[in-house]
A = this chain, B = another copy of it.
Amino acid sequence: MTALWQRQPVGIVGLGLIGGSLGLDLLARGAEVRAWVHRSATAERARQRRLATEVSTDVRVLADCGMVVLALPLDRLLAPDPTLVDALPAAAVVTDVGSVKASVVACWGPRLGGRFVASHPMAGTVHAGVEAGQLDLFRGRPWVATPDATTAAPALVAVRELAEALGAHWLTCEAAAHDRAVALISHLPVLVSAALLQTADRATAAAPPLASLVRALASSGFADTSRVGGGNPELGALMARCNQGALLAALERYREAITDLETLVRAGEWDVLQQELATCQQLRPPFL
């Protein structure tokens, strides 16, 4: 039996990095893709790039879809356009691609019931917008769904079949567990890394020769540790806003950990420090 995405048109709302990549992958697999975008300039460019079979600024483009993927930024996803909600086909399976899940479930579950499947394809590049979509973005990447007791089994299967057809690694967990996990591995690192950039700047702000020196001497270690802290500020603030509780819990624990290391350095407890770093060395490989 063929999958839902093969039997009926797939709607995509938004053609940024995730939506555009979905469109390209689905077209490459023979699906019919109907995309709704906000601005006519985006629609025009999306047509040139052939990101979907049909691209429109008229929400009725979604009318015949058996499945709709909401590929919107979190803030727009969490404050849904009533026009969009009304235009979603009554029987369609609907999923999203947001990087937090509890707030998405709270927003969309009551609106759509069991046919809404909250999901998060964990793929990205540094690019955004209608130019960013690329083939095979999801191949080998995790695609996490966070169903609950109300989620309809056939809807979950339909989204899983879509994800696996694109080469993603499917897994499911509770929305709260997802949010705690991404707070630790994605949102906390942004702030940890940003604070490092702030420290290097503030510690040298009053001494221009030292400021030049740190910039001349910084090498791959600093570059890697500061990378995510120097990323997209809108995205960083949005993640924090939409995952405030889990991020705060992670930050509190992190502050304890860095303070404990500071205490070891102050006390000159070099053997204990070395043991702690040896533990860290062993902790890291399972994360890679």
Contacts and interface: CB of A to CB of B under 8 A. Distances in A.
Interface of A: 122, 141-142, 144, 171, 173, 177-178, 180-182, 184-186, 188-204, 209-210, 213-219, 221-234, 236-238, 240-241, 244, 247-255, 257-259, 261-262, 265-266, 268, 270-271, 273-281, 283-288
B196 A192 contact: yes
B265 A202 contact: no
A274 to B, nearest CB: 4
A102 to B, nearest CB: 14
Contact of A224 (B204, B225, B238): B225
B284 A178 contact: no
Q: Is the interface of A mostly helix, strand, loop or mixed?
A: helix
Contacts of A233: 274-278, 280-281
A184 B248 CA distance: 26
13 contacts: A142-B217, A173-B209, A180-B210, A186-B217, A191-B265, A192-B196, A197-B283, A197-B284, A229-B280, A232-B281, A233-B280, A240-B273, A255-B258
B185 A203 contact: no
B257 A198 contact: yes
Given A233-B281, A255-B259, A287-B215, A196 B189 contact: yes
Contacts of A249: 203
A192 B221 CA distance: 11
Contacts of A230: 280-281, 283-285
Contact of A199 (B198, B228, B253, B281): B253
Given A189-B225, A265-B240, A122 B217 contact: yes
